[in-house]
């Protein structure tokens, strides 16, 4: 029994379950939300182009896994057709802006940086890990990873 609990604990912590849907994504539909761009203007579900696939990555500015995943997406962003990227963080604005500068994110017009200052995403999804990645198309969930995403798996949904 102890071995089972140990293996289960290691599996849980390793992110092996990451490609499963969250209980909060069971509807598979983009929830209505209100976030803010870095200028303080409202950004909500209506701000997303429903005719493009949307990668939403919830991240922390000091998370090495987040940095790796975001860098991987940005390296291939020009090869993705009809894709928009939303990077969402609850971190202080100064930290988000430093992250943008460090990774030259402002050079990618298809990337939007969004601030979750009210913790809406965090509270709705009960986020346990970062990054947390969703891919939506026409408001429907195609992919979800709570923790570092398998990039090969993620890319299958962007082709």
pLDDT in tens, 117-132: 888 887 877 778 899 9
| 92: its two tokens | 């202080």
Angle at 69 between CA 15 and CA 82, to 5 degrees: 120
The domain locations on the chain are 18-156
| pTM of the full structure | 0.79
CATH topology for the 18-156 domain: Glutaredoxin (3.40.30)
The alpha carbon of 59 is separated from its chain's Cα centroid by a whole number of angstroms, namely 7
Neighbours of 73 (CB within 10 A): 24
| 155: its two tokens | 């890319």
pLDDT of residue 69: 93
Q: What is the pLDDT along the chain (159 residues), one digit of tens a residue?
A: 544 333 334 333 433 333 344 444 445 667 778 889 998 899 888 888 888 999 999 999 999 999 999 999 999 888 888 999 999 999 999 999 999 999 999 999 999 999 998 888 878 777 788 999 999 898 888 998 888 898 888 888 887
Strand pairing class (132-137; 42-44): unpaired
How far the first Cα of the chain sits from its last, in Å, is 44
């Amino acid at each position: 029994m102890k071995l089972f609990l140990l293996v289960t604990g290691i599996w849980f912590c390793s992110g092996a379950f990451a490609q499963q849907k969250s209980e909060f994504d069971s509807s598979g539909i983009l929830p209505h939300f209100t976030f803010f761009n870095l200028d303080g203007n409202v950004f909500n579900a209506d701000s997303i182009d429903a005719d493009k696939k949307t990668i939403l990555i919830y991240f922390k500015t000091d998370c090495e896994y987040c940095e790796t995943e975001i860098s991987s997406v940005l390296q291939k962003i020009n090869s993705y057709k009809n894709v928009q990227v939303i990077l969402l963080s609850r971190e202080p604005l100064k930290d988000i802006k430093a992250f943008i500068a460090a990774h030259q994110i402002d050079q990618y017009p298809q990337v939007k940086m969004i601030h979750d200052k009210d913790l809406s995403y965090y509270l709705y999804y009960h986020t346990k890990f970062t990054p947390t990645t969703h891919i939506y198309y026409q408001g429907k969930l195609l992919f979800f990873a709570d923790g570092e995403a398998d990039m090969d798996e993620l890319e299958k949904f962007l082709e």
